[in-house]
Each structure stands twice: as C-alpha cells, then as structure tokens.
Amino acid sequence: MRVTEIFHSIQGESTFAGLPCVFVRLTGCPLRCTWCDTAYAFFGGTEQSVEDILGKVRSYGCPLVEVTGGEPLAQAETTTLLHRLSQEFTVLLETSGTIDARSVDPAVHIILDVKCPGSGMTDRMHWPNVERLRPRDEVKFVIQDRIDYDWAKGILQQFHLTDRCPVLFSPVFGTLDPRQLAEWLLEDRLAARLQLQLHKHIWAPDMRGV
C-alpha cells in the first residue's frame, strides 16, 4: 500500500473529536475539491505492507485509529487493512463517498463526506453509500457558503439523515465564519452538529502530522 504518513495526534473531527487517535493517511485521491487541505497526499508516499502499517499503529498503544487520505478506498488493499485494524482497534474511515463502500468491514465507523456544490465534486458522489449509512456511521458536509448550506439541508431531508446517524456541518476553514454557520443552524433548528477542525485551532492550520 502507498502511505503518506502515520502519526499520533488529537482527533480533530467527528463525534470522536478530542480523543487521542492514530492516523493512517493513505496516498492518492481521484477528486480535486476546491478547498482541499491535504493535496500533499495526492502523490508520493512510501510503499508499506498491511503488516508494516499494523506494526506502526500498534507502537502508539492507542485504541482509536482513523484511516484517511486522500481517498483511502482508492487503494484496493484498504478494505483488508480496515478489516485487520478493526480486529484490534476502534476504527474510523474518512471517505469521500465517491467509491462504493459495501466491502468495508461492518465494524468500521464510516465518516462519509458528502460533497457539496462548493467542492466542485458533487457529480462524483456514489449515492448508494449515503443510503446505506448506519447509526454507527457519521455524515459530514463541508460548507463553503449559503448555497452549500441550503443544498445540504435538502440532502438531509431527502435521505432522512438526522434520523439515521450523526450529522456534521463543518465550515470551510478560513472561508466561512463558524459563527455564521452556527447562526444558520440555530435559525433552522437543524439537528446537526457544528464541527470545527480542532487540530487547526491547536496547531498551525497547515501543519502536517497533527
């Protein structure tokens, strides 16, 4: 497998935010979201076996692991890695939702990033992934502006997402004021969680390995 980095930090997103977590960032992504903050993971990385990755993850002695990218499911071996990790750890998968996730081990918590219009990648969504979300999963919308917000509300209603799993609304860092998003959520009494990227408020926003 091609790996960009493996590191131990504080989980900055999802309902697991604030917990120590080991991150396995895989290399490669078929998307080019306008607001992407991990473009460095598109190329490069190092070849590592599933056993190599497991050994590195175990060395941190942390029970929570997130497999992220790039787009982790772009690599065929990722489902094997997720299965092996889920036998020992609580595992989160951060995925764009553009690649079929049916083969992911059911023990894994899928955090599905639904691509709003501002990302430029909405037409790449694999909507059956959204239809299959379970209570243990989470769905995330990265919101750039009011157009994104109103579109995301429509998706919540269409798929009845607030009744099915935790819903996260995250402002594009440095573009949309979190206060504005909070006010929209309160005004609409939307059953969604305002998510800030905690790691970007603890360390420099462009710092890697945190």
* Model confidence at 192: pLDDT above 90: yes
From the CB of residue 127, how many other CB atoms can be counted at a distance below 10 Å? 12
The per-residue DSSP string of 60-114 comes to TT-SEEEEESS-GGGSTTHHHHHHHHHTTSEEEEEE-S-S--TTS-TTSEEEEEE
Q: Give φ, ψ of 67 to 5 degrees.
A: -100, 120
pTM of the predicted model, to two decimals? 0.95
| Residue 12 binned pLDDT confidence (cut-offs 50, 70, 90) | very high
Are 90 and 63 contacting, i.e. CB atoms less than 8 angstroms apart?
yes
Are 170 and 195 contacting, i.e. CB atoms less than 8 angstroms apart?
yes
Sign of CA dihedral 150, 154, 159, 162: positive
Domains of the chain: 2-202 (3.20.20.70)
> Average pLDDT over the chain, rounded to whole?
96
Are 30 and 63 contacting, i.e. CB atoms less than 8 angstroms apart?
no
* Model confidence at 209: pLDDT above 90: no
Residue 205: the pLDDT is 85
CA nearest to 54, candidates 22, 11, 100: 22
* Model confidence at 83: pLDDT above 90: yes
**In the chain, what percentage of residues exceed pLDDT 90?**
92
Residue 73: the pLDDT is 97
* Model confidence at 207: pLDDT above 90: no
Residue 151: the pLDDT is 98
**Residue 55, Cα to own-chain centre: how many angstroms?**
23
Query: Per residue in 121-147, pLDDT tens?
Result: 999 999 999 999 999 999 999 999 999
* Model confidence at 210: pLDDT above 90: no
Are 165 and 137 contacting, i.e. CB atoms less than 8 angstroms apart?
yes
Q: Please name the helix (run of DSSP H) or strand (run of DSSP E) that holds residue 178, with its range, or none.
A: helix 178-188
Residue 29: the pLDDT is 96
